[in-house]
Amino acid sequence: MNKKKIIKLLWHFFTILTLLISVLFIIYGLQQDIFYSERALETFFEKFGIWAPILFIIFQIIQVILPVVPGAIGCLGGILIFGPIYGLIYNYIGICIGSIATYSIARNYGTSFISFLVSKRVRLKYQEWVNHRRFDFLFTLAIFSPIAPDDYLCFLAGTTKMKYLKFISIILVGKPLPITIYSFGLEWIFRQIILWL
C-alpha cells in the first residue's frame, strides 16, 4: 500500500471519527438544551475550567460543519461566556477552522456529501454560482457579508477549482468583519430582550 492510499485511509478514518463524535455531542446537546439556551451553554462550558476555550472552539467548528446547530448560539455564547475580546477571538478561530474543514470535506467527497447536510432549497438557490465565471469574486463578497449562508458556500467552494491557498486567504481576511458584526449584533439584541423582560 503506497503512502497516498495510507493518507487517504487515515483521512477517511478521522473524518468518520469526527462525524461520530459530532453526532454524539449533538445528541447530548439536544438532551441538555445546549444548542437552544445560552445559559445552558455557559453552564456546560464552566465545568471544564481552562479547557473551556478549546471545547468552545471545537463547538464552533462543529456548528459550521453540521448546519443543524444554529450558528447564532455559538457566536452569542462566545461573547457572553468569554467576554467581548476573547469571545470574538474564539469565535473567529472556530469558525475559520470549521470553514476550512467544510471546504476540505467537499473537496474529498463532492456534492453527494453536501446533499446530505444541506437542504435542496438552499442547494438549488446557490448551485448556479458554481458555473459562474466570477464565482471566486461572488464567494469573496458573500464571505464578507454577515447574512450570507457562508457555511454552505464553503462546501460549494470545495466543489469548484478554487485553490486551497486562495480559499484560506479569503476566509482568514473576510471572516473578522462579519463575525464581529454578527456576534455583537446578537449580543445587543440579547441585552435588549433581557431588559424588556
Model confidence pLDDT, tens digit, residues 129-183: 676 678 888 888 889 887 777 778 888 888 888 899 999 999 999 999 999 998 8
pLDDT digits 0-9 by tens, 48-101: 888 889 989 998 998 888 766 667 778 888 887 888 899 999 999 999 999 999
CA–centroid distance for 136 within its chain: 20
More confident residue, 175 or 191: 175
Domain that holds residue 131: 3-196
Burial 150-177 (b: 16+ CB within 10 A, else e): bbbbbbbbbbbebeeeebeebbeebbbe
Q: Whole-model pTM? A: 0.74
Contact indicator for 97, 168 with CB cutoff of 8 Å: no
Instruction: Say how far apart CA 107 and CA 133 lie, in whole Å.
Output: 19
The number of domains in the chain is 1
